[in-house]
Amino acid sequence: MNWGTKIAILYVSFAATIGVMVYKSATQTVDLVAPDYYEQELKYQDKIDGINNVNASSNALSISQQNGNIDFAFSETMGVPDGSILLFKPDNAAADLKTVIRVDQSGKQSISTKGLTKGTYLLKVDWKIGSKKYFKEERININ
């Protein structure tokens, strides 16, 4: 085999490798953190204010996980919350779950984890009572 054939084989193998890499990168799914990321970034001060309001109130919300449920206990003394709960799965946007806050008479709500994909979620609870906004974020594992 002469040097011209070796160069041709090297060139063809390099081109094939580049072709495979381009194909794999084109078929890879890339989930954004949020489709409206820039709009959310502009409203980030509201989240900071909500976090500060939660920190100022020691019992605004407690979250626990047991028996295949995520339990939320909102403070009864603060009033009825109006907002949403988002279970955000960073590695799979299709596994996200967003629901409206619907508490019972004792200020509690429960979400079943049975239909959720196993793994780590970022739990984001965004609510307001009157004109005061609250925001709590924490990581949870679904087994």
DSSP string of 47-97, one letter each residue: HHHHHHHHHHSTTSEEEEEETTEEEEEE-TTT---EEEEEEE-TT-GGG-E
Give pLDDT, residue 58. Answer: 77
Mean pLDDT of the chain: 88
**Together in a domain, 18 and 41:** no
Give pLDDT, residue 32. Answer: 67
**Together in a domain, 72 and 19:** no
Joined tokens for residue 43? 């409203």
- Domain limits for position 9: 1-30
Q: Is the pTM of this model over 0.75?
A: no
**Together in a domain, 66 and 20:** no
**Together in a domain, 74 and 103:** yes
**Together in a domain, 60 and 126:** yes
Q: What is the pLDDT of residues 48-102, one digit of tens each?
A: 988 898 888 878 888 998 888 999 998 888 888 899 999 998 888 888 889 999 9
**Together in a domain, 2 and 59:** no
Q: What is the pLDDT of residues 23-38, one digit of tens each?
A: 999 998 776 667 777 8
